[in-house]
Amino acid sequence: MNPVEIARGFQPELRQRAGEIEQARRLPADLAEKLARAGLFRMLLPSAIGGLESPPATVAGAIEALSEADASTGWCLMIGATTGMLSGRLPQDLAASMFADPNVICSGVFAPMGKAVDDGDHWRVTGRWKWGSGSQNAAWVAGGAVLMGEDGPLLDASGQPLHRMVIFAADQVEMIDTWRTSGLCGTGSLDFAVREARAPKARSVALHSDPPLADGAVFRFPPFGMLAMGIAAVAIGNARGALADFAALAAAQSSQGSQRTLAERNVVQAEFAQVSGAVAAARSRFFEAVETLWRTVERGDEPTIEDRALLRLACAHAAQVCAEGCRRIYDLGGGVAVFLDSSLQRRFRDAHVITHHIMVAPQMFELTGRVLLGLPTRDALI
């Protein structure tokens, strides 16, 4: 079965358990296991080790489908699936041993918040990372680390510190419960830390420079484009869920002092239509950009910086449009929406945490604008 259809099959349970997920401040272990057994975390693993090598639009569609029911669950799938993409840059025998269990989940944080010291055929790493989404359900946890020499960070040819994502076994990692936030509460995005943890050098990846070792075209898709795509898919799914939630509410709820339902009010009809159109347009542009870049990669061509920037622009635009859409729908909900058990309240809060992720944050418009204006731009994270 297609991963998108599999993800849609989880929607009834996720809608029912959304409050539980938020209160738990993490994805419940039994639910993570169900998603893993369904193969959703293997969408970006090489077929040679039992992965699906799903096209990017399929990955985005599956994340979107979960997020329509619960954005925190969609976010955890996004993190687990995109971190799994590291397997395409590992030696095949190592990747096969790490993912031998079909229910394995991995998580990771790219930001180089750790320090790695050369220890023969291993890295010895100390560090603490924020935003460890889904880490409590992961068997493997990756963290970015700056490579250190005797005199400080090792530098590349342009004078920038060298860094790699080092993958640790879960029992090497300390989980630190810092995740008390306004939105995406159920993602379990707590801090995690390691101290003097050793990991084989082969179990580390430099996303900006290491070429993929797996043959599949999906591993040539820009990795940061894939991450941004996943985040935008959560935003789109969350906004579509807000529209569906409000439509159900509006058909039954009347305004105070009125016998007409919300759906029967002209101002509600006009606002709902405008938000629906804005979200649909952003979604259409998003999937168009994903497919355009994917066709380039499938042909075997190297995406230009302009190609990559257009995808990143579509992702940031979708996240912003969907956050604004969730705010407008929240406002339409009136007094009902202010209660914490309201799905419109949760959608609003989740949407405005999504837009703070660096991959889709407002500064992305500056970066992509530089590229589109033909200005020199450091493109390592595009």
Give tens-digit pLDDT for 83-119: 999 999 999 999 999 999 999 999 999 999 999 999 9
How much is the pLDDT for 378? 82
Closest CA to 219 of 28, 44, 17: 44
**CB within 8 A of 365, min separation 6: which ones?**
313, 316
- Strands 163-169 and 204-205 come out as antiparallel
Calpha distance 76→235 (Å, rounded): 13
0.75 cut: is pTM over it? yes
For 3-42, the DSSP string reads HHHHHHHTHHHHHHHHHHHHHHTS--HHHHHHHHHTTGGG
How much is the pLDDT for 170? 98
Q: Which fold has domain 221-372?
A: Butyryl-CoA Dehydrogenase, subunit A; domain 3 (1.20.140)
Q: Is there a contact between 130 and 168 (Cβ–Cβ < 8 Å)?
A: no
Domain covering 3-98 in this structure, CATH number: 1.10.540.10
- What confidence tens digit (pLDDT) does each residue in 315-364 have? 999 999 999 999 999 999 988 889 988 999 999 999 999 999 999 999 99
**CB within 8 A of 24, min separation 6: which ones?**
186
Tell me which amino acid residue 309 is. A
Q: Which fold has domain 106-205?
A: Butyryl-CoA Dehydrogenase, subunit A; domain 2 (2.40.110)
Look-up of token digits 């419109």: 344
**CB within 8 A of 291, min separation 6: which ones?**
57
Tell me which amino acid residue 112 is. P
Domain segments of the chain as ranges: 3-98, 106-205, 221-372
Pick out the chain residues at pLDDT < 70: 254-258
